[in-house]
Amino acid sequence: MLLSRFPRVSLAHLPTPLEYLPRLSKHLGGPDIHVKRDDCTGLGTGGNKTRKLEFLMADALKRKATVVITQGAVQSNHARQTAAAACKLGMKCELVFEKRVGDASEIYLNSGNVFLDHLFGAGIRDVRKGSDMNAEMEKVAAELREQGETPYIIPGGGSNPIGALGYVDCALELITQANRQDLVVDHVVHATGSAGTQAGLVVGLKAMSSNIPLTGIGVNAPKPDQEAKVYKLACETAEFLGAPGIVQREDVVANCDYVGPGYGVPTDAMNEAVLLLARLEGLLFDPVYSGKGLAGMIDLVGKGYFAGAKNVVFVHTGGSAGLFAYRDRLRTD
């Protein structure tokens, strides 16, 4: 599996650290918890989309794109990292936002990631909840083409086989670090949404014959839909890499018990988890993804899900910029 065959631009600070969390581990009284610091990828406050963008933006450059278009929820971390990447590479960026979270406050609509999108000079268009986001992006592309631009559309979350290569690479990086640190990784956990992170990780872990189970904690869809989405993208990614058939359906496990009332809607368990990690380890997690993922992992430790495991790695996918947009909805005491 040779990722250097694929065009790539350097955007992320790599490798990201793999760190042990002694105080959280002691507090939970279960396996040793380690964190893969993909919140530290560097670009525009970092996060998991930056690894995907190394491959996606290289493809855009190859196609001589002058502007990239992508979509997401208003507080999309992916949109913010795409806007930053476009700046770094001298391209324009147009963002299409779905007003997915109901009764949004003034803070939610303007602070956090949105504020950073404005700093990066991205164009922003809002569309109604439930809109066909791909069709909306095509409309923007047609408009830009008429103005003489060459648009490049990046799917929501950067989740296609090109973007997922970033997480194949993360799996290789993690295994290399574990080998160097003499760390026997028994389980990997992370928050899963648009599926590119989990699809890439599952392909990379399989390609390395690592035998490490991977659990994605869902933040949006019900389990059957989430697993089907990840499995489909994992198969496509394996094929794209020239390793068709390496992923089996049972390799894809998503636990969607921690979504709460819906995407981007805070839960008490998420709030507890965000507070706990801030106070035990000085780490920041986000309300929409990594905080719910963490809440899931913490609950699963309590339920004995990792019984027999000595070391669990939580992939911290970032998102702390989103905390500011939830300032009025998060408890800090």
Catalytic residues: 76
Neighbours of 10 (CB within 10 A): 9
Q: Decide: helix, strand or coil at residue 121.
A: coil
Is the Cβ of residue 47 or residue 151 nearer to ligand PLP in the bound state?
Answer: 47
Beta bridge partners of 72: 97
Instruction: Write down the least CB distance from residue 216 to ligand PLP, Å.
Output: 7
Instruction: Write down the least CB distance from residue 126 to ligand PLP, Å.
Output: 19
Residues 155-174 binding ligand PLP (CB under 6 A) are: 157, 159
Binding-site size for ligand PLP (CB under 6 A) equals 20
Give residues with Cβ within 8 angstroms of 163, minimum separation 6.
Answer: 52, 53, 55, 56, 154, 155, 157, 196, 200
Residue 298 is encoded by which pair of tokens?
Answer: 């913490």
Q: Going edge to edge, which strands form the sheet with 92-98? A: 123-127, 92-98, 67-73, 151-153
Using CB under 6 A as the binding rule, whether residue 16 contacts ligand PLP is answered as no
Using CB under 6 A as the binding rule, whether residue 196 contacts ligand PLP is answered as yes
DSSP string, 306-321: TTT-SEEEEEE---GG
Is the Cβ of residue 197 or residue 311 nearer to ligand PLP in the bound state?
Answer: 197
Let me know: does 209 contact 137? Beta carbons within 8 Å.
Answer: no
Binding residue for ligand PLP (CB under 6 A) from 177, 197, 215, 311?
197
Residue span 299-318 as binding mask against ligand PLP, x where in contact by CB under 6 A, dash where not:
------------------xx
Using CB under 6 A as the binding rule, whether residue 47 contacts ligand PLP is answered as yes
From the list 84-92, 107-115, 127-135, 193-201, the region that binds ligand PLP by CB under 6 A is: 193-201
Binding residue for ligand PLP (CB under 6 A) from 77, 82, 111, 215?
77
Using CB under 6 A as the binding rule, whether residue 48 contacts ligand PLP is answered as yes
Residue 87 burial by Cβ neighbours in a 10 Å radius (0-12, 13-18, 19+): middle
Residue 171 is encoded by which pair of tokens?
Answer: 């799996």
Give the binding site for ligand PLP (CB under 6 A): 47-48, 77-78, 157, 159, 191-198, 286, 289-290, 317-319
